[in-house]
Structure 1
Amino acid sequence: MASLTITLQDINTYEKETFISALANLFEGPPWIVTNAYPTRPFASLDQLHQVLCSIMYAAPLDQQVALLRAHPDLVGRAALIGSLSPASKGEQAAAGLDQLTGEEIATFQHNNKLYRERFGFPFVICARENKKESILDGFDKRLNHTFEQEVTLALTEVAKICSLRLRDLVVDDSL
């Protein structure tokens, strides 16, 4: 996905603005997680960088976590249908086959998105690259029965998976 190779050594030596710009797309929405990770450099490995990023996300106040979740696009939502997803989100939804749905399947996703958003106040977040349309639809069914607290926790776990995959697409671990 990345057009240029960035190494972990590069990440460790970047000035703050370059660091933020390089890693901002690991998460949807404003780059507050990446910004807060900057002072913790240098990172010994990509795993350590990922752990730091996720620790910041998990330690954030609930309202900031929910804002992070709200920054995610709906699966097969308006942004996907009009072609305005970020390149990362577009590729992730395509990897799950969500760019090849029938009209009926699109309607099912949109109905589930609406139910989920009404129940929890944020979009259904799942690591699409680790799923296909069937497992995503099953996920809607199961997760609509969760409590708000359970669902925030699970959605953040999915964000962590998305971040890990995006990080590995972007940065070469030259620490070995």
Structure 2
Amino acid sequence: MSDKTLTPRPSTLDRADFVGRFGDIYEHSPWVAEETWDNGLTHDQDTPSGLASAMGAVLAAASAERQLEVIRAHPDLAGKAALAGDLTDDSTREQAGAGLDQCTPEELARFERLNDAYKARFGFPFVMAVRGNDRHAILAAFETRLHNSPDEERRTAIEQINRIARLRLEDRVA
């Protein structure tokens, strides 16, 4: 984990600049950055880990329905949006880094089946911080997590989303 200071330092930014710079950390959910700024920023939030903790606390404190909105803002892994090139730049890099852009036709069909089964069971897409994993590990996690309870899976998805956010913030100083 990086403990380098983000520049410009988040604690020195006004609300518009902060949201402009960090509103994309949580997929299509700038409200997380807005509420983080509204809660007040100190020099403790000027590092990726400090800011990730503050932003993660906002998401953790949100209602289950608001959390579900954030989960539902995420694309399917190796899904139609990826194939069509309709992902955010961060999601495109993350999925490509895990080799999801190199799936065989059989693997793509398996992802599609698992995405459909997962959404039918939970009502939201499977979310996983894919960095450091390959498509085989992701498919295995998919199959394991399909057995979770809906509440357990919502909590797991939020943990994964917060991990994604931390990695994205670390990339901002890399």
Q: Report the TM-score, using the length of structure 2 for normalisation.
A: 0.91
Asked if the contact 1:75–1:124 (Cα under 8 Å) also holds between the matched residues in 2, the reply is yes
Equivalent residue for 1:58, pick from 57, 60, 79: 60
Asked if the contact 1:143–1:151 (Cα under 8 Å) also holds between the matched residues in 2, the reply is yes
| Identical aligned residues as a percent | 35
In 2, distance between residues paired with 1:25 and 1:130? 22
In 2, distance between residues paired with 1:43 and 1:89? 29
- CA drift of 1:43 comes to 3.3
Look up the equivalent residue of 2:10 and give its one-letter code.
I
- CA drift of 1:8 comes to 4.5
- CA drift of 1:24 comes to 1.3
- CA drift of 1:9 comes to 4.6
In 2, distance between residues paired with 1:15 and 1:143? 40
Q: Deviations over 1:109-157 (max 9, x none)?
A: 0110000000001000000113111111111111000000100011111
Look up the equivalent residue of 2:129 and give its one-letter code.
C
Match of 1:19 in 2: 18
Q: Deviations over 1:43-69 (max 9, x none)?
A: 323322111111110110000000100
Q: Which has the higher contact order (CA 8 A, sep 6+)?
A: 1
Q: Is there any run of 5+ residues in structure 1 with no aligned partner, and where? A: 1-5
- The answer to whether structure 1 residue 100 and structure 2 residue 102 are counterparts is yes
Match of 2:112 in 1: 110
Match of 1:159 in 2: 161
Match of 2:41 in 1: 41
For residue 147 of structure 2, give the secondary structure of its aligned residue in structure 1. Answer: coil
In 2, distance between residues paired with 1:18 and 1:95? 29
Asked if the contact 1:96–1:129 (Cα under 8 Å) also holds between the matched residues in 2, the reply is yes
**Cα root mean square deviation, aligned:** 1.4
Look up the equivalent residue of 1:41 and give its one-letter code.
L
Match of 1:74 in 2: 76
For residue 128 of structure 1, give the secondary structure of its aligned residue in structure 2. Answer: coil
Q: Deviations over 1:58-113 (max 9, x none)?
A: 11000000010000000011110001111100000001000001111111101100
- CA drift of 1:171 comes to 3.9
- CA drift of 1:10 comes to 3.0
Asked if the contact 1:8–1:43 (Cα under 8 Å) also holds between the matched residues in 2, the reply is no
Q: Deviations over 1:15-50 (max 9, x none)?
A: 111100100111112211110011321232332211
Q: Report the TM-score, using the length of structure 1 for normalisation.
A: 0.90
Asked if the contact 2:95–2:130 (Cα under 8 Å) also holds between the matched residues in 1, the reply is yes
In 2, distance between residues paired with 1:58 and 1:130? 24
For residue 24 of structure 2, give the secondary structure of its aligned residue in structure 1. Answer: helix
Q: How many residues align?
A: 167
Match of 1:89 in 2: 91
In 2, distance between residues paired with 1:156 and 1:43? 25
Q: Is there any run of 5+ residues in structure 2 with no aligned partner, and where? A: none
